Amino acid sequence: MIRIAPPALLLSAALLVGCSSTPAEEPTVRSGKNVQIERMEHLGVVEEGYWVNEETKDIGAAVPWQQGVARLSQPNFDRLLDTYDWQPVSTEPIIPVDLKGKLDAGDTWLLGHDVNDVYYLESDTRFVLFMVSD
């Protein structure tokens, strides 16, 4: 004869398994206010920023990379604006899914880039989207 455990015992076991002491996962998106974003020191101190990189995504990438969105102070925004040859673009850039909705932006976009880095600026809100590799 096969014996079946009482339902209360099964429920208790399920609850204990669900409450195990496994360590909490690190968030994949780093954030900060009034900080310098690691490896993005040339942006200066950002008013607010959110970023992901090969470390936060736990991807063993051959080339270090970083993507993020930030709101810059007016002086830092102006300095970045003077750094590249910006081209107006008529559509909003595709923001990586991990960063989408983290900061609001307007609809006046500029694109700037060099060999390995791409930046989108939104001039009404001092928003910057960066996608860089070292």
- Quick one: pLDDT at residue 13? 37
Average pLDDT score, the chain: 82
Q: To the nearest whole percent, how much of the chain has pLDDT over 90?
A: 63
Rounded Cα–Cα distance for residues 89 and 113 (Å): 13
Q: Which residues contact 52 (CB under 8 A, 6 or more apart)?
A: 28, 29, 30, 66, 67, 68, 96, 98, 99
Task: Flag whether pLDDT at 81 surpasses 80.
Answer: yes
The mean pLDDT value for 91-108 works out to 93
Indicate the range of 10-14, 21-25, 37-41 predicted with least confidence: 10-14
User: Residue 70 pairs with which residues in a beta bridge?
Assistant: 49, 128
- Quick one: pLDDT at residue 43? 94
Rounded Cα–Cα distance for residues 80 and 87 (Å): 14
pLDDT grade for 60, boundaries at 50, 70 and 90 = low
Indicate the range of 19-28, 29-38, 92-101, 112-121 predicted with least confidence: 19-28
